[in-house]
C-alpha cells in the first residue's frame, strides 16, 4: 500500500467524521450532554477495580489524587454516579469486515448469548450496529429488550465478503470502511446525553505500522492531526470505547499484543504512526478495555458493562496551554493499596482544527 494513500484514508475519514458523518447515521434528536460549569474544565469518568477486576464504588474524594503531566491538580468537582443519576447507552458493533469469516458465526452466537441472558432484560439501553462490506447498519433506537434486539439482528444479512482480513490488497479498504464506521458511531453517540459505551467486537482494523516504515514531516503531521481529532471527539462526545477480540486464544500472540506498542500518548508529530489510531489503542486511551486471548464473547461484554454500574465523576481545571495541540498525560491515583483507577489517559489542550491534507 502506498503511504500517501494510507494517510489520505486516515485523515479524510476523520475529516468526514468531524464535518459530515451525521449524514451517515440514522436520524436522532440531538440532546445536549451535561457539561462542566467552566467551558475549559475537563470531566473524567473514573472506574476503580481491584486487581482481580472487582469494581469498587465506596471511595471518597480524599481517596483520589489527580496528576496532569506529573503535576498534582485540585479536583474541582467529585461525585459517585449511577445510571439512575445519569443515562448510560451502549452500542454493540459487530465488525464482520475485520473478523475472520469462520469466526463471524461464533461472534454472532456470543452476542446472542449476552442478549438472551436474564430473559433478555438488559440493564442499559442498547443498540446493535453491524459493519459489513456494504457499510454500517444501526438500529434507530436503543432498547433494554435483548430478545427484540437479537431478533432484529437475526434479520440482518451478513453476506460473503469481497475482501478479507488477511488479503494483501485489501488493507486500505478494510481501514477505510472501519474508519468510516467508527466516525459514524461517534457522531451518532454524540447526539445523546450522558455516558456512552461503544463495544467494538472484532480483532480490530489494520494497524499498518511495520518497523522501519518511514514518513515525511508532512505525513507525520497528518497522522498527528488525526490522533488529536479522535482523542478530542471521543472526550467531547462522552464516549468510552472497548474492543473485544472474538478470535480469543486462536489469535496469533504477535498480532494480539502488537497494539501495546502504541499505547503511550503521542506528544509530537515526529512520533506519530498509523498504529496510534488502532481501535485497541483508542479503547485503552479512552478509559475502556481491550480484550485478547479470551473466547467468551458474552462474558467479555458483561465485563465491559460492569463499568456502567457505578463510577466516579471527577472534574478539574486544566492548566493553560503553552501551545496548540499540547498533550497532557493524566494519572488518577487511589490512596488504597491494590486498587486500579481507569479513565482517559490524556487530552490535547487547545486542539487546533484538523487540516485537510
Partners of 72 in the beta sheet? 67
What does the alpha-carbon distance between residue 142 and residue 127 come to, in Å, rounded to a whole number? 5
Per-10-residue mean pLDDT of the chain, 357 residues long, equals 58 48 38 54 95 89 97 96 93 94 92 97 96 86 95 78 53 85 94 96 84 82 93 96 88 76 94 93 97 91 95 95 93 94 95 54
Same domain, 195 and 340: no
In a domain, 35, yes or no: no
Q: Can you give the pLDDT at residue 34? A: 46
122 phi and psi angles, rounded to 5 deg? -95, 145
Helix residue ranges per DSSP H, 86-199: 101-116, 146-154, 171-189
Q: Can you give the pLDDT at residue 32? A: 40
Same domain, 194 and 318: no
In a domain, 303, yes or no: yes
Residue 204 CA neighbour count, 13 Å, CB half: 28
What does the alpha-carbon distance between residue 90 and residue 88 come to, in Å, rounded to a whole number? 7
Same domain, 67 and 128: no
Same domain, 298 and 197: yes
Same domain, 156 and 258: yes
Same domain, 79 and 98: no
Same domain, 113 and 65: no
Q: Can you give the pLDDT at residue 9? A: 61
Interior/surface letters 250-279, b for 16+ CB within 10 angstroms, e for the rest = ebeeeebebbeebeebbbebeebbbbbbbb
In a domain, 11, yes or no: yes
Q: Can you give the pLDDT at residue 7? A: 61
Q: Can you give the pLDDT at residue 169? A: 43
Range(s) of the domain holding residue 323: 42-83+310-348
Same domain, 50 and 125: no
Q: What is the CATH number of the domain that holds 194?
A: 3.40.50.410
Partners of 331 in the beta sheet? 67
In a domain, 357, yes or no: no
Same domain, 173 and 127: yes
Q: Can you give the pLDDT at residue 139? A: 77
In a domain, 200, yes or no: yes
In a domain, 36, yes or no: no
Cβ 226 vs Cβ 14: under 8 Å: yes
Written as nine digits, the cell of 133 is 462490506
Q: Can you give the pLDDT at residue 2? A: 54
What does the alpha-carbon distance between residue 37 and residue 40 come to, in Å, rounded to a whole number? 9
Q: Can you give the pLDDT at residue 110? A: 96
**Alpha-carbon dihedral 138, 142, 148, 151, rounded to 10 degrees:** 10
In a domain, 182, yes or no: yes
Residue 103 CA neighbour count, 13 Å, CB half: 23
Structural domains of the chain, count = 2
Same domain, 69 and 132: no
Same domain, 95 and 167: yes
Same domain, 66 and 10: no
In a domain, 28, yes or no: no
Amino acid at each position: 500500500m502506498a503511504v500517501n494513500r494510507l494517510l489520505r484514508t486516515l485523515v479524510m475519514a476523520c475529516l468526514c467524521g468531524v464535518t459530515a458523518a451525521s449524514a451517515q447515521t440514522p436520524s436522532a434528536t440531538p440532546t445536549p450532554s451535561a457539561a462542566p460549569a467552566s467551558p475549559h474544565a475537563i470531566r473524567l469518568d473514573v472506574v476503580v477495580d481491584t486487581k482481580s477486576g472487582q469494581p469498587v464504588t465506596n471511595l471518597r474524594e480524599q481517596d483520589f489524587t489527580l496528576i496532569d503531566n506529573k503535576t498534582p491538580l485540585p479536583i474541582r468537582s467529585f461525585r459517585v454516579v449511577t445510571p439512575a443519576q445519569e443515562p448510560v447507552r451502549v452500542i454493540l458493533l459487530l465488525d464482520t469486515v475485520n473478523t475472520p469469516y469462520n469466526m463471524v458465526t461464533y461472534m454472532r452466537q456470543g452476542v446472542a448469548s449476552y442478549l438472551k441472558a436474564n430473559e433478555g432484560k438488559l440493564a442499559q439501553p442498547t443498540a446493535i450496529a453491524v459493519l459489513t462490506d456494504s457499510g454500517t447498519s444501526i438500529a434507530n433506537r436503543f432498547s433494554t429488550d435483548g430478545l427484540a434486539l437479537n431478533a432484529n439482528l437475526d434479520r440482518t444479512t451478513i453476506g460473503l465478503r469481497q475482501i478479507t482480513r488477511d488479503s494483501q490488497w485489501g488493507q486500505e479498504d478494510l481501514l477505510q470502511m472501519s474508519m468510516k464506521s467508527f466516525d459514524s458511531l461517534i457522531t451518532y453517540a454524540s447526539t445523546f446525553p450522558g455516558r456512552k459505551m461503544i463495544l467494538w467486537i472484532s480483532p480490530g482494523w489494520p494497524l499498518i505500522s511495520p518497523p522501519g516504515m518511514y514518513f515525511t514531516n508532512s505525513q507525520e503531521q497528518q497522522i498527528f492531526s488525526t490522533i488529536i481529532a479522535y482523542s478530542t471527539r471521543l472526550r467531547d462526545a462522552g464516549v468510552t470505547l472497548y474492543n473485544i477480540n472474538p478470535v480469543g486464544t486462536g489469535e496469533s500472540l504477535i498480532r494480539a499484543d502488537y497494539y501495546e506498542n502504541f499505547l503511550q500518548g503521542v506528544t509530537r508529530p515526529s512520533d506519530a504512526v498509523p498504529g496510534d489510531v488502532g481501535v485497541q489503542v483508542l479503547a485503552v486511551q479512552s478509559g475502556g478495555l481491550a480484550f485478547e486471548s479470551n473466547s467468551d464473547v458474552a462474558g467479555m461484554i458483561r465485563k465491559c458493562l460492569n463499568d456502567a454500574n457505578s463510577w466516579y465523576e471527577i472534574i478539574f481545571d486544566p492548566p493553560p496551554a503553552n501551545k496548540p495541540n499540547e498533550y497532557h498525560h493524566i494519572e488518577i491515583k487511589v490512596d488504597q493499596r491494590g486498587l486500579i483507577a481507569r479513565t482517559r489517559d490524556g487530552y490535547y489542550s487547545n486542539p487546533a482544527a484538523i487540516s485537510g491534507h
